[in-house]
Amino acid sequence: MLQECLDGLAINPSGVYVDVTFGGGGHSRAILEKLGPEGKLIAFDQDKDAQANALDDERFTLVPMNFKFMANQLKYLGYEEGVDGILADLGVSSHQFDVGERGFSTRFDGPLDMRMNQNADQTAAQFLNKSSQEDIASVLYKYGEITNSRPVAAAIVAKRSEAPLKTTQDLISILETFVPAPVRNKFYAQVFQAVRIEVNQEIRVLERFLEQSSQSLKIGGKLVVMSYHSLEDRLVKNYLKSGSFDGELDKDFFGNVRRPYKPQGSKPTIASAEEQRVNTRSRSAKLRIGVKLKEAGNE
């Protein structure tokens, strides 16, 4: 949905834009193509591998950090007046997914790592070896929609008492006893997704990012978010609609709704049938766009 993201940003050639999920730089390159000589693009990525893709362009700056630090970093770089558009293409990049040593993929045997930031404290192995059975079950249920999360968590805890889990194959060998072969890959992917979301604190980080986005955008600036998980999409949808994560509207004394954004459209944009056919990841993508309002409640 590259074109839809660009349309959502409605790029002003001399504007300042932020791509908080730089990855392989595909979206950033397309944004730079739309910018004139005065335009600026600031990108974030917490994965040090992404630095190898940094673009050689004087209008471009890559901040090698978690986007939960976006607002302060933009001020530090001199953009106190706000930026014109912010893009987030959430989740894991194909590079991260395709490198077995990162531990994100069920397709390779690699270390149980799953950290997007290689310097972060907690790996997937640490989470699975140290957390309580209840916490593991809750993560599998909340972030992976694993309906039998309790017996799966119990099996993980039983196995780790023999020897700590170290590799993706250690985890898969526990999971394979729970599902028949035809649906195994889907089940493994759901469990890996759940552990990854927990290890990278993706939901909490998204909440902080959404709050900061409304502080960092100019009035009329665009927030464009592509998410791949129903919990993420719900947070984005609620925040754009109401300025809160539970969707509760905040009203002032006179009953005016206070919210930072006006959502563009009531439904998310999804990938075309053709894109879904060639890019399986796009099948779960939901794109939402918000326009920063003048003042909360003042459209």
Residues binding ligand SAM (CB under 6 A): 21, 23-27, 44-47, 50, 66-68, 89, 91, 93, 116, 205
Please state, in angstroms and rounded to a whole number, the distance separating the CA atoms of residues 5 and 18: 12
Identify whether the C-beta of residue 120 lies closer than 8 Å to the C-beta of residue 96. no
**Residue among 10 and 203 whose Cβ is closer to ligand SAM:** 203
**Residue among 93 and 106 whose Cβ is closer to ligand SAM:** 93
**Residue among 21 and 149 whose Cβ is closer to ligand SAM:** 21
Q: Considering the complex, what minimum distance in angstroms separates the CB of residue 117 from ligand SAM? A: 8
Q: Considering the complex, what minimum distance in angstroms separates the CB of residue 73 from ligand SAM? A: 11
Identify whether the C-beta of residue 157 lies closer than 8 Å to the C-beta of residue 177. no
**Residue among 66 and 123 whose Cβ is closer to ligand SAM:** 66
Residue type, position 208, single letter? R
Please state, in angstroms and rounded to a whole number, the distance separating the CA atoms of residues 112 and 103: 5
**Residue among 137 and 192 whose Cβ is closer to ligand SAM:** 192
Identify whether the C-beta of residue 118 lies closer than 8 Å to the C-beta of residue 47. yes
Please state, in angstroms and rounded to a whole number, the distance separating the CA atoms of residues 238 and 255: 19
Q: Considering the complex, what minimum distance in angstroms separates the CB of residue 10 from ligand SAM? A: 18
What is the pairing mode between strands 257-258 and 16-19?
Answer: unpaired
| 180 φ/ψ sector (left φ>0, alpha ψ -120 to 50, else beta) | beta
How many residues belong to the chain?
299
**Residue among 91 and 263 whose Cβ is closer to ligand SAM:** 91
Q: Considering the complex, what minimum distance in angstroms separates the CB of residue 137 from ligand SAM? A: 25
Q: Considering the complex, what minimum distance in angstroms separates the CB of residue 275 from ligand SAM? A: 14
Helix (H, G, I), strand (E, B) or coil at 222: strand
- Give the CA radius of gyration of the chain: 20
